[in-house]
């Protein structure tokens, strides 16, 4: 199963992907996680991406497409994967279509977690507070001001990705404002209807 989780930052894509990887035994491919690892390891890509990420802007299509192209070729991704945070622009979606077509593969569904953008800022303030309370590092880009920039990038560049998959008949919508358990149940329902 090859899935894409769509929705603005803070919509719960990471949380839901974590459960789905257990259920389907396929990896979550999060470009945000991969970029954060590259920044932490100070690789050449990490050095390029650091300031862009801290400002809440988008890293170049070329970098993230390259990362995903390499990652989907790895052994654990051969049975499928869940893309989280990619594609974030129409150019990335088109590059993904081309790289999968070259391997004779396709996406089974793109699932959009639909959320109220106004409420997301509150959600992200909670995420930062919870991380702090648990003694975990707080993401620099979870600062409320930077988060607003990330949301603006979403509406400017990423919102157009949803129609890309709708046009292919692959888009499924789930209410992302419900509880984590209810969102999980809606996702399970969508996925059981796929096979
Ligand atoms: P995320 O964890 O998905 O919210 O991503 C954190 C940050 O990484 C984003 O704000 C961007 O700076 C960068 N990033 C992650 N995925 C992408 C992508 N597909 N395209 C461009 N930038 C990305």
Annotated active-site residue 2? The verdict is no
**Does residue 99 surpass a pLDDT of 70?**
yes
We find that the CATH architecture of domain 2-26+79-115+159-192 is 3-Layer(aba) Sandwich (3.40)
Cα(192)–Cα(188) distance, integer angstroms? 6
Q: Whose Cα sits closest to atom 11 in ligand 1?
A: 58
Q: Whose Cα sits closest to atom 15 in ligand 1?
A: 32
Q: Name the DSSP class of 85.
A: S
- Return the pLDDT at 195: 64
Q: How confident is the model at residue 194 (pLDDT cuts 50, 70, 90)?
A: confident
The structure tokens 């993401």 sit at 139
Whether omega for the bond prior to residue 117 falls within 30 degrees of 0, making it cis, is no
Mean pLDDT of 91-120: 94
The H or E element spanning position 111 is strand 109-114
Neighbours of 177 (CB within 10 A): 15
- Return the pLDDT at 50: 97
Using a cut of 0.85, tell me whether the model's pTM lies above it.
yes
Q: Of the ranges 26-35, 39-48, 146-155, which one carries the lowest mean pLDDT score?
A: 146-155
Give me the residue spans of the domains in the chain: 2-26+79-115+159-192
Pick the atom of ligand 1 nearest to 92's CA.
19
Q: Whose Cα sits closest to atom 6 in ligand 1?
A: 32
Mean pLDDT of 150-155: 90
For residue 152, report the distance from its CA to the centre of ligand 1, in Å.
13
**Does residue 123 surpass a pLDDT of 90?**
no
């Amino acid at each position: 199963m090859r899935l894409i989780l769509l929705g603005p930052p803070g919509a719960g894509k990471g949380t839901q992907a974590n459960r789905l990887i257990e259920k389907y035994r396929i990896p979550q491919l999060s470009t945000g996680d991969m970029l954060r690892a590259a920044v932490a390891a100070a690789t050449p890509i990490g050095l390029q991406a650091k300031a862009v990420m801290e400002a809440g802007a988008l890293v170049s299509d070329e970098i993230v497409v390259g990362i995903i192209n390499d990652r989907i070729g790895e052994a654990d991704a051969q049975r499928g994967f869940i893309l989280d945070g990619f594609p974030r622009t129409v150019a990335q979606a088109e590059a993904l279509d081309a790289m999968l077509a070259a391997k004779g593969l396709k996406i089974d569904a793109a699932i959009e977690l639909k959320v109220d953008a106004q409420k997301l800022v509150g959600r992200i303030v909670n995420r930062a507070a919870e991380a702090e309370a648990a003694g975990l590092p707080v993401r620099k880009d979870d600062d409320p001001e930077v988060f607003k920039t990330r949301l603006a990038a979403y509406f400017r560049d990423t919102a157009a990705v949803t129609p890309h998959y709708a046009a292919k008949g692959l888009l499924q919508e789930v209410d992302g404002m419900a509880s984590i358990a209810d969102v999980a149940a809606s996702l399970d329902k969508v996925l059981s209807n796929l096979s």
